[in-house]
Amino acid sequence: MIAHLQGKLVEKSPTEVIIDCGGVGYQVNISLHTYSLIPNSDFIKLFTHLQIKEDSHILFGFVEKSEREIFRMLLSVSGIGANIARTMLSSLEPKQIINAIASGDVVVIQSIKGIGNKTAQRVILDLKEKVVKLFDLDEVSIVLNNTNRDEALSALEVLGFIRKTAEKVVEKIVKEEPEASVETIIKKALKNL
């Protein structure tokens, strides 16, 4: 098993990188989340997951160990392959996936391309306990925060704000004030949008 690669960054695109390690160039598939975290330097280190199939060996790389752990957890779910797991990590931040699983938010998981209702429910059913235990989360606060956050985002969308922009602002507010009410989140968001 290849645990990590450390070497010179030869090529970089949103879906893959090539790392030169001692004269050998490794092609590594990455998520958009990892792409956004890769530093602008010649030398990088990625934690890897090697997928071995009958006809290929494919390396997946991650800047953060926690993202690799989420990737591996997603692979353990029936119906989720490496490409769908990578799409999930490209569509949502790892933190958002963890919160969606822990709070049982089928809609968020289902919003990812290639994931239907049954698969989203299976992801939550299979991984909820593992995620809560592994990331030491308090289930009650996640559900509360997620509901308040979602209601605030919906209200801001109705008011005409772009969801992606509003999400960033709301996430920051919720991080600073985990117990904030929907009204508080909206008021603070309006000041920052």
Nearest to 171 by CA among 138, 146, 139, 135: 146
Structural domains in the chain, sorted by start = 4-62 (2.40.50.140), 65-134 (1.10.150.20), 140-192 (1.10.8.10)
- Band of pLDDT at residue 40, cut at 50, 70 and 90: confident
* H or E segment and range at residue 170: helix 163-176
Residue-level pLDDT at 51: 95
Residue-level pLDDT at 137: 62
Return the half-sphere exposure (C-beta side, CA atoms, 13 A cut-off) of residue 103.
21
Contact 16, 30 (CB under 8 A): yes
How do residues 130-176 score in pLDDT, each as one tens digit?
888 877 665 444 544 567 888 888 888 888 888 888 888 888 888 78
d(CA 139, CA 148): 14
Return the half-sphere exposure (C-beta side, CA atoms, 13 A cut-off) of residue 141.
10
Residue-level pLDDT at 114: 87
Q: What is the CA radius of gyration of the chain?
A: 18
Residue-level pLDDT at 140: 43
Residue with token string 């990455």: 30
* pLDDT reading at 53 higher than 80: yes
pTM of the predicted structure, to 2 decimals: 0.70
Q: Residues 39-59: what's their mean pLDDT?
A: 93
